[in-house]
Chains A and B, each alone.
Chain A
Amino acid sequence: MSPTSTVSTAQPAGSESNAGLMDRRRFLALAGMGVTVTAMPLSFASAAAAQTGPRSLVCVFLAGGADSANIFIPRDFDQAGSTYDTYRTTRGVLAEPANTLIPFDDGQFGFNRLFPEMARIANRGDMAIVQNVGPLARPTTRADFEAGRSIPEVLFSHNSQQKLWQTGRPSLAPSQGWGGRISAVVNGGDEIAPSFSIAGSNIWSSAQDAPYSRVSASVAVSRLRGYDAELRNWIDSFEGVESVMRTALNSARATGNEFDRVLADSIDTAILTTEQLRDATAASAANDVGMDVDGNDLGQQLQVVARLIRNRQSLGMDRQIFFVRMGGWDTHGEQEDRFEELAQEFDEAIGQFQGAVDRLGVTDSVTTFTASDFGRTLGINGDGTDHAWGGHAFVMGGAVNGGTYGTFPSYSTTNNPDDTGDRRDNFAGRLIPTTAVAQHAATLARWMGLSERQLDQVFPELLNFAERDLGFL
């Protein structure tokens, strides 16, 4: 049960509400009790949190399946039989010309020229590139795929694969997101859960005992007029109205069905959240984080994140969890043009965000990572790519041990052991991941304070893999 519904059954029906503030304090107290009392074995606040200082984890979800094979690209073209040549042959007209790539590290790999900010962060040692990662139940070979052994459910479809990424599981049955589960472990007992989505409801943030606030980048957090008598204007009868609305909420909980109850709780949560967060998210001079993100939707979302990070200490938040989303990556057609627009928005937003984090002096305690439904087909459909499976993911922050992780897959169109192929041994261009989401997520979750035992509970499939810690944090 979420803390709010614990509270709702504890409050007597028709309780008076003239002292609006008192009710909210009582609500908070009960919410605090509710979380710890109904907590699962995982939910004691981690001692590690006190030792390391605050940490914030930011999930940047690229919805639609980002073509990461064209973001991080082999660059060893000077060498015979090079990986770059294979890449170029396989990708045809969509292959990026070798001399346009921005070198990374020793130059064996590079970034698409459209991602200069990503390259800059990588080259200063603050980025891990996790290669060919995707949902897996266990290490999976091509033979396993053809035999249908332990294959994650409903591959190649957006909504199912987004769910698998966000739950970290290979089956569609579990519905809790690993971001939410991290929050449930490390944030037990917090008055306002330090878990936020700037992109609306999503699975990653959702877990039992882990409420999260949904704040919008485009709509300023405003408090609820009518429900909140403190907001006065030219009519002064609002104390009476506020009292009636309180009664309405209690009445919905006491006499209504689940719809009425849950929606009454949602309004209560909205009242509480907007009161707490309005100042922390305000677009005021005092709250300026110095990001230049006009017209950049992802940038605006990350700006809200930056403001909340800036205020994390005054909000009493020790382990913040953030979810932002950028859509449009499903480049079945016109990929050349679309990718340019997508890259521009994404790279600029990431660059601006990392700049704000640096200026706030919290580079080492903010880790940002990308996730996406899937990578895309290595072969093309003319002017675009289709749904695939494994792709490259990026993790950024001062705490990150820069470099490449996991195994770079083969891009070859013949005899490719990493390709799913089809029954007639044709090249499919869909890579079987060589690293599992569970391993990737566990590495991030460990940084946020989960113990090995807790990791096994959140990621049961982790036991199937030799490497529990990919090592980038």
Chain B
Amino acid sequence: MADGTNTYRTFDGTGTVGNEVDFAVRASDFFGVYIETTTNRGRRQFKIVPRSTWPEFLFGYRYEVGIGTQTRRTGERIYRRSIDLAFIAQILEPGTTITSIDKVFARTRSQLDIEVEVVNAPPPPPPPTGDITRSAAVRFLTQSSFGATEATVAELMAMGSYDAWIDDQVALPISRTEAEVRSRSNGSLGTTRHYVWFNNAVEEPDQLRQRVAFALSQLFVVSDIDYTLSNSQYAMCNYYDMLAEEAFGNFRTLLERVTLHAVMGSYLSMVRNEKANVALNIRPDENFAREVMQLFTIGLFELDAQGQVRTSNGRPIEAYDQRTVEQFAKTFTGWNYADTRSWDANHAYDRTLPMTAWPEYHDTTRKELLNGTVLPAGQTAEQDMQGALDNLFAHSNVGPFIATHLIRQLVTSNPTPGYIGRVAAAFDDDGNGTRGNMEAVVRAILTDTEARNGPETLPTTFGKVREPLIRMISLWRAFTADSGSRGVYSTPQRAIDQLDSLFLQGPMRAPSVFNFFPAGGRLGGGSTLFAPEKSILSESGLAAINNAFFNQIYDRNNRREEGLVDYWTVIDIDREYDLADDVDALIDHLEILLLGHPLPADFRSALETQVASHPTTPEGLTYRAMDAIYCIAASPFHLVQK
């Protein structure tokens, strides 16, 4: 636009929004570009220092100053510049967030300000106040636990506050797996680990921590499908327990514990990564170096503060190149199992012990990392490791990258940029000046207006496909399943440690470091929405999961009088049986407990007819309960979490 007006893309929080700005200013009179903002520390005005040089703007072009909206061009081009508001972050005091950009203007030496128009998006609506309804409680617990139960719903409603519930959860003792697996097995079979993991997920009260640990296990992926780790079950448990311990801690600590954990060292071959030997044509192993960037911290492409990929000429900007991978690869050299007898010794190792460094195998050359950081030559392996992790941690991608992953794990597969930006801001600064506070991030995710109001405010895009594993566990939780005389959960088709063949998911059983489903997976069927979890819902898998529900509900419930086997996992449907003579009450209860929202009218009506078709005899009432549970739990609505 030649007249100096422009609009910005919506700016609803901290964010870097690259925008085109036109100024019609006499070159010799140009002084600078200014921005006036409202921040959480009051109004701030500052001068934009552009990344690229401005001289071409100043030299050789003549303009006429525009007053109001009309500018007369003298024949030379009107110049467009792109102002990258990323600079703002560099010059604000730490802990400052921008809530709106109020003015953008070019100032001339003669003190004339030429303004451009700024459009701010309306601020997000405040979280709803007032009582938490049953439906709201179920929705929240679906996002923050392995499934809502009547007991946890009642608890949350009584507390009346999501923040209070989160505080409570953070303070609960941590459920772990290692100690119990040690006491019950010799560490070479995955079976016991699965038993304990499922018991914790179904029964233990620290649900939020466990859910976050599960989400982190899908980021910092290790898997005992890998043949080396299948015999290291104590260490696998130790790794998972570490994720649970750090779920509300600091990301920098978590990153370091993951990096040095021998299970990860084994999985991504950082263990025994040695410095180069040029004569033998040996160079450092790039596996961990690449994946720690691509999958654990910054991703493949540069992101803005709202997690959107930055582009240049329409192509995404890569966050690092092959050379950077090689630099990190030599940084992470010289680490080995803590109890290894020699660098190459081949014997059983205790992979619960963090790796330790061997100076003679560590590369001590200079390393050039991200954003111009240089690790000087001559450092120890520990110093280089700390420097590398600090470098990764400081990258501006980390907040939006982690925010996006956790939001998609817990709440919705297609978050708005604003939502990502708000959560990323909590990562960047938890309100007390700390970067990387995971508790603050989780809290920001769950209390955000998008998580709480998504179905109303974003009806076409909000929600996610439920992970099959979580769906099964949520059924057991909702109906207070009794695991059976052996104390382990089971499905009719498969034992618990083989559930991944049914569900294509098992705790720490991902087929590769890219997790059970690729992050970029789409819903398909003509939709462009993301739905990573959909990719593991194959035709045969859908049938298998449906049949697992069918068998659990119809064959393995506690109202069945004959034929129950004592070690079966049996669900308790007494509560539903008691409601069943009132068809409306039964369906009202189940639609909220299972879905968190009412059924559509036509489905409800058909279900009412079917349920009412059974007489009010004891057998009939049992059929009423079973039909109502199955028809809702196996419907397409239960496949989606909203």
Contacts and interface: CB of A to CB of B under 8 A. Distances in A.
Interface of A: 1-2, 4-5, 13-14, 63-64, 89-93, 153-160, 175, 197, 200-201, 206, 213-216, 218-227, 235, 237, 240-241, 243-245, 247-252, 254-267, 269-270, 273-274, 327-328, 330, 332-334, 338, 341, 377, 379-384, 386-387, 413, 422, 427, 429
B525 A262 contact: yes
Interface stretch (B399-407, B445-453, B628-636): B628-636
A64 B291 CA distance: 13
A269 B522 CA distance: 17
A244 B610 contact: yes
13 contacts: A92-B280, A206-B524, A220-B540, A222-B540, A226-B634, A235-B554, A237-B614, A240-B627, A244-B610, A256-B637, A259-B529, A262-B534, A380-B282
Given A92-B281, A427-B281, A384 B269 contact: yes
Contacts of B529: 258-259
Contact of B465 (A215, A263, A273): A263
Contacts of A264: 636
A245 B518 CA distance: 30
Given A224-B546, A245-B635, A269 B282 contact: no
Given A224-B547, A333-B273, 20 more contacts: A5-B526, A92-B281, A200-B536, A206-B524, A213-B539, A222-B540, A226-B546, A226-B550, A227-B634, A245-B635, A247-B602, A257-B463, A270-B542, A327-B511, A332-B269, A379-B281, A381-B286, A383-B272, A386-B283, A413-B281
Contacts of A247: 602-603, 606
Interface string B526-549: 110101001111111111101100
A86 B141 CA distance: 62
Contacts of B68: none
B325 interface: yes
B463 A157 contact: no
A7 to B, nearest CB: 11
A1 B527 CA distance: 9
B636 A248 contact: yes
A241 B283 contact: no
Contact of A330 (B287, B540, B610): B287
Given A241-B627, A260-B637, A274 B543 contact: yes
Contacts of B526: 1-2, 5
Given A267-B636, A333-B285, A221 B602 contact: no
Given A2-B526, A241-B631, A225 B547 contact: yes
B286 A214 contact: no
Given A382-B282, A384-B269, A384-B285, A266 B610 contact: no
A274 B539 contact: yes
Contact of A381 (B283, B536, B538, B635): B283
Interface of B: 225-228, 268-269, 271-274, 277, 280-287, 290, 294, 300, 315, 318, 322-323, 325, 459-465, 501-502, 504, 511-512, 514, 517-518, 520-527, 529, 531, 534-544, 546-547, 550-551, 554, 599-600, 602-603, 606-607, 610, 613-614, 623, 627, 630-631, 634-637, 639-640, 642
Contacts of A338: 227
Contacts of A200: 504, 535-536, 538
Given A156-B325, A200-B535, A225-B550, A259 B463 contact: yes
Nearest to A427: B281
A260 B640 contact: yes
Which of A160, A219, A265 has the most B CB atoms < 10 Å from its CB?
Answer: A219
B631 A244 contact: yes
Nearest to A6: B526
A64 B290 CA distance: 14
Given A92-B282, A214-B540, A241-B630, A333 B287 contact: yes
Nearest to A201: B535
Contacts of B280: 92-93
Nearest to B623: A237
B630 A226 contact: yes
A273 B539 contact: yes
A263 B282 contact: no
Contacts of B459: 257
Given A237-B627, A251-B603, A327 B537 contact: no
Nearest to A385: B285
Instruction: Give the interface centre of A214, A244, A265 by most chain B CB atoms within 10 Å.
Output: A244
A382 B285 contact: yes
A266 B527 contact: no
Contacts of B524: 2, 206, 262
Given A216-B541, A224-B546, A248-B631, A261 B525 contact: yes
Given A201-B535, A381-B283, A219 B541 contact: yes
A262 B523 contact: yes
Give the interface centre of A2, A258, A383 by most chain B CB atoms within 10 Å.
Answer: A258
Contacts of B461: 257-258
Among the interface residues A156, A227, A248, which one has the most CB atoms of the partner chain B within 10 A?
A248
A379 B613 CA distance: 73
Contacts of A153: 315
A259 B514 contact: no
Specify which of A201, A255, A381 lies most central, judged by the most chain B CB atoms within 10 Å of its CB.
A381
Contacts of B602: 13-14, 247, 250-251, 254-255
A254 B600 CA distance: 10
4 A-B pairs with the lowest CB-CB distances in the bound complex, closest first = A214-B538, A333-B269, A201-B535, A332-B287
Among B285, B460, B461, B523, max chain A CB count under 10 A is at B285
Nearest to A269: B539
B485 to A, nearest CB: 24
B524 to A, nearest CB: 6
A248 B607 CA distance: 9
A156 B460 CA distance: 37
Contact of A332 (B285, B514, B550): B285
B514 A158 contact: yes
Nearest to B605: A247
B261 to A, nearest CB: 16
Contact of B281 (A5, A258, A380): A380
A342 B1 CA distance: 61
B268 A332 contact: yes
A139 B309 CA distance: 30
A241 B464 CA distance: 26
Contacts of A252: 600, 603, 635-637
A324 to B, nearest CB: 13
B412 to A, nearest CB: 10
A249 B631 CA distance: 11
Nearest to A158: B514
B525 A5 contact: yes
A216 B402 CA distance: 32
Contact of B527 (A4, A240, A262, A269): A262
Nearest to A273: B539
B194 to A, nearest CB: 16
Contact of B286 (A222, A244, A387, A413): A387
